[in-house]
Structure 1
Amino acid sequence: MAPEFSQTAPLEAPALGEPYLLTPGPLTTAYSVKQAMLRDWGSWDADFRAMTADLRRRLLALIGDDKGDYDCVPIQGSGSFCVEAMLGSFVPKDGKVLVLANGAYGLRAAQTMDYLGRAHTLIDKGDYLPPRGDEVAAALDADPAITHVIAIHCETSSGILNPLAEISDAVHSRGRKLLVDSMSAFGAVPLEVGRIPYEAMVSSANKCIEGVPGFGFVIAKKTALEAAKGNSHSLSLDVHAQWATMEKTGQWRFTPPTHVVAAFIEALKMHEAEGGVAARGARYTQNRDVMVAGMKELGFETLLSDQWLSPIIVTFFCPADPNFVFSKFYDLMKDKGFIIYPGKLTVVDSFRVGCIGRMDAHVMRRVVEAAGQSLAEMGVTSAAPPSAALDERSKLAA
């Protein structure tokens, strides 16, 4: 359990009347993070090289690497760029990947493997359940050709926080290598290498660290970085080449997102001042608990059982009431200062509410109030989902 978050005073509101982004990133950022982007930086200048070194050090401090076995490599682009860079760089051309999927991002990893032309197999758990350690163990025992496993830390299409520790145990005990897409969890959910010995992981600037979009980063074993030379299918997504250049010159190989880096360093400083991973996770957990309790009081139901709810984003069934139209609900919520997220499921109609970003329980209570007002304005008398949706949840979760 995350420690209790004890803040009593509300966090500052977004600048200039901006709406809150109730999404899994981009997300609402602090005003000081925005301010950090007001200066221009020379990408080859010594000051910017020092900034790059600083962000790498600060990120490594979050994984508990006491032995210095890991290094951090920033990569330009969105999170999916970084996932592709990781898969293309650390999986050799004759390797084989077990892809663990329970939503859109696991399936995207499998699609990436198709594009890379690398061998892979898939465990697809659907929208309601996580892959479990015993399933991974059985798959690895059945196929000795598998060299790597990729797992999604938090599958934000449904909101499931996957049991990464037991997956890691299954992979590590069988001598295989774990790759982690921790895009939406790193910085708020512990990912210490002493407990979860992964080969490499990726995350993004605009998630739980509360920076802005523009780059992501790979944290990997130095031995894996060295072994990755020559593996990549891509010039720009070659993690080894980026790492080697940064180690030699302190520079990015190609034009870096200078303003985004400056904002990210400010966000990292705020993350540390808040209390690091534990405190950030506690605030997000309280955000989730306050919001979910309030939405249930309105009659909404979560897609997932409480056991699998992440502190990152929560998926709710759309109400069965014929007066409920998501696009109208979205517009009404936006008018009240909150941008929510459409659903990303194929089985049922749903929408998502994010818990991350520069928000706290005071904001989440206002979210619930806005949702209640929006239902009333639409003439929705019950937020209860279709009985078929609940039946499907019960059947698949059994």
Structure 2
Amino acid sequence: MPLPPPLMLTTGPVTAYPEVLAAMARPVVYDTDPAFQGFYEGVVEKARAALRLSNPPVILQGEAILGIEAAAAGLIRRDDVVLNLVSGVYGKGFGGWASRHGREVIELAVPYDAAIDPAAVAEALRRRPDIAVVSVCHLDTPSGTINPLAEIGAVVARHGGYMIVDAVSSFGGMDVHPEEVDADIFCASPSKCLGGTPGLTLLGVSERAWARIADNPDAPRASFLSLLDWRHAWRRDRPFPVTPSIPEIYGLDAALERYAAEGPEAVWARHALTARAARAGVRALGLELWPRSEAIAAPTATVFKLPAGISDEALRDRMRDRFGVLVSLGRRETAGKVLRLGHMGPAAQPVFAVTAIAALGAALRSLGLPAAAEAGVAAALAVIAGPASPTDDIPSSKASLGGNAALL
């Protein structure tokens, strides 16, 4: 008999909400049916409201990496200088796409347990006034750190540059919206904090970015990477560039409905409280958080350092196989150094932080490390039960800084 599926406390994709899965089981209809085209227009409007956009967003038919690559291909011109802000694995990765399309990519990097300093961004722009595009990953899940996006966006806006934002692991789990942080292309995903499935990308594109893309002769057209092809697909009187994934659209609609019904502020608070409880439990177990400051620790993922003598795969496997909790390993530069507890969408429930800490403490003990499992559980419960400031559980796109930035 197969084992029951583990409790997925990973950093994405996540276990989708039941109403999302139920919606995806509805009959597939013909995409040119006027009834479906009207339904799709309504889904785009719900996404626009969730993103707090003044213009319709784009829904791309692929998981969020498609949107990030399409942003680079559409917005970056061949003679552009791009400033890529790097505080983790995914921020680093964007440089590869940027280098395919621009003339030069400058990297401003900090250690992967720190955050980008807006003052360093301002200095980089002062040194190189020819920088046209700035790219930043708001929340790099392999590190569990967040960058002060609103402040960075303000710096870029004053410079007159265009900003591409990877908000895949933050949108829906904290207070961050494209126009409020001066993002020109803002990439989000239904498969993280919205509790959807990993088949679509949500993109907020500013009007000035649309004009730039349309004026870019190298921007993809008649291509899976084309943003222009999808710009007006939300209109019921326009055909889709390619056949959309009907079940994924149904699921996105249900995810957006759920987000609006619970209320964004309540959703953000639920994510933040779960993360605070997990961090308290991790510390009480005698473990060290990976972010050098809790001020930059993500509300959607708790990343902690592995204790000496314990392998990441052994600890992950023990938590899954013996205690029924699945967590994520580190990636690339953080691989073998950390484990990651995800608090996204359905997993962002404070009681799951308690479950994760209990499983983690018991797994460490079974591997020969004298972890204070009871103390970890008690610390997590104390956070959930204890008084908190009204603003403690509503994080925003602003984050305190950790470490000094370096131009590389």
TM-score (norm 1): 0.86
Query: Per-residue deviation at 1:78?
Result: 1.9
Question: Is 1:134 aligned with 2:119?
Answer: yes
Name the SS for the 1:329 alignment partner: helix
State which of 286, 291, 300 in structure 1 corresponds to 2:287.
Answer: 300
State which of 325, 349, 374 in structure 2 corresponds to 1:338.
Answer: 325
Distance 1:27 1:179 in 2: 25
Question: Is 1:177 aligned with 2:162?
Answer: yes
Distance 2:193 2:36 in 1: 23
Query: Per-residue deviation at 1:117?
Result: 5.0
Query: Per-residue deviation at 1:215?
Result: 1.0
Counterpart for residue 354 of structure 2? 365
Q: What's the C-alpha RMSD, in Å, of the aligned pairs?
A: 2.2
Structure 1 residues 225 and 397: alpha-carbon distance in aligned structure 2, compared to 1, 3 A threshold = closer
Counterpart for residue 39 of structure 2? 51
Distance 1:175 1:117 in 2: 18
Percent of aligned pairs sharing the same letter = 25
Question: Is 1:377 aligned with 2:369?
Answer: no
Query: Per-residue deviation at 1:338?
Result: 1.6
- Unpaired runs of 5+ residues, structure 2, are 373-401
Counterpart for residue 271 of structure 1? 259
Question: Is 1:168 aligned with 2:153?
Answer: yes
Structure 1 residues 55 and 254: alpha-carbon distance in aligned structure 2, compared to 1, 3 A threshold = same
Name the SS for the 1:85 alignment partner: helix
Distance 1:143 1:224 in 2: 21
Distance 1:58 1:281 in 2: 18
State which of 128, 148, 170 in structure 1 corresponds to 2:133.
Answer: 148
Name the SS for the 2:60 alignment partner: strand
Distance 1:24 1:163 in 2: 21
Counterpart for residue 225 of structure 1? 210
Query: Per-residue deviation at 1:369?
Result: 0.8
CA deviations 1:33-74 (Å, max 9, x no partner) are 111111223222223323321221112112434xx3x33011
Name the SS for the 2:181 alignment partner: coil
The residue type paired with residue 96 of structure 1 is: V
Structure 1 residues 155 and 140: alpha-carbon distance in aligned structure 2, compared to 1, 3 A threshold = same
Q: Is the contact between residue 159 and residue 314 of structure 1 (CA under 8 Å) also seen in structure 2?
A: yes
Structure 1 residues 57 and 44: alpha-carbon distance in aligned structure 2, compared to 1, 3 A threshold = same
Provide the aligned length of Structure 1 versus Structure 2. Answer: 366
Within a 5 Å distance, the mapping from 1:200-349 to structure 2 comes to 200-229=185-214, 230-233=217-220, 235-247=223-235, 249-276=237-264, 278-304=265-291, 305-320=293-308, 322=309, 324-335=310-321, 336-344=323-331, 346=333, 349=337
CA deviations 1:157-215 (Å, max 9, x no partner) are 10111100110111111211222111111122223455322212111120111110111
Q: Is the contact between residue 37 and residue 235 of structure 2 (CA under 8 Å) also seen in structure 1?
A: no
Q: Is the contact between residue 79 and residue 204 of structure 1 (CA under 8 Å) also seen in structure 2?
A: yes
Distance 2:177 2:333 in 1: 34
Distance 1:239 1:374 in 2: 46
Structure 1 residues 42 and 17: alpha-carbon distance in aligned structure 2, compared to 1, 3 A threshold = farther
Q: Is the contact between residue 91 and residue 148 of structure 1 (CA under 8 Å) also seen in structure 2?
A: yes
CA deviations 1:10-42 (Å, max 9, x no partner) are xxxxxx953222222210222121111112232
- Unpaired runs of 5+ residues, structure 1, are 1-15, 384-395
User: Which of 131-140 and 232-241 deviates more?
Assistant: 232-241
Name the SS for the 2:57 alignment partner: strand
Q: Is the contact between residue 184 and residue 208 of structure 2 (CA under 8 Å) also seen in structure 1?
A: no
Q: Is the contact between residue 169 and residue 193 of structure 2 (CA under 8 Å) also seen in structure 1?
A: yes
CA deviations 1:280-309 (Å, max 9, x no partner) are 111111110111111211111101121110
